[in-house]
Amino acid sequence: MHQAHQLEERLLEMEKVAQAFQVAPFDIYLLGGAACLLAGYTSRATRDFDLVDQQYSASLAKVLVFLRDYDLLEYESTLLSPHYKDRCRQLTSFQYLNIYTLSAEDIIVSKLVRLNERDWEDLDAMMPQANHPLIFQIIEEVLQREDLYETKKEGLRRHLKSFKEKYHVSDTV
C-alpha cells in the first residue's frame, strides 16, 4: 500500500495549499486507478488522478496543480450514473477538502467504455466484491442519460457482451 500512501500524501499536500491560499473547501470525486487504490479496490500502481469535473473555477487551478498529474473528466463524456455521488465513499484522512472515491460499481461501469488490459486487470480485482445487480442498474442509468455523448453509449454497448461473458453475469440491458 506504499503507492496508496504516496497518493494520499499528494492529496494532503494539496489540501494544505488550499488552506494556505484560503480557498473555500470544495468537493473532489476520484475515479480510475487512484480511486481504486485509495478505496482499497485494487493494488495496481498508478501516479495520476482522474477527477470528475465539477465545473471548477479557474481559481482552483492553483490548488489542483499540486496533484501534478491529473485529468478532469467531463461528466458528458464519462460513463457515470446521475446518482454516482449517492454511492461515493468520503476519504476520512482529509479535514478541509471533501475528497470522495466512486463506488466499485460506478468505477466498473466507467471502465466499460474502453476495456484495455489495465481495465480488465482492475475489473478482475473488483468484480468478486461488486454488487452485480447494482452494476446493471448503473448501466441502465448511464444509457438513459440524454447528456452523455452517443459515442460513449455505443462504446459501452460494444463491450457489454464480453464483460458479461467473462464474469458470467447477465441482465436485461
C-alpha cell at 131: 454488487
User: Domain locations in the chain?
Assistant: 2-167
What is the rounded distance in angstroms from the CA atom of residue 102 to the CA atom of residue 87? Answer: 7
Point out which residues pair with 13 in neighbouring strands: none
pTM above 0.85, yes or no: yes
Assign 72 to helix, strand or coil: strand
pLDDT per residue as tens, the chain (173 positions):
588 999 999 999 999 999 999 999 999 999 999 999 999 999 888 888 999 999 998 889 889 988 888 999 999 999 999 999 999 999 999 999 999 999 999 999 999 998 999 899 999 999 999 999 999 999 999 999 999 999 999 999 999 999 999 999 987 55
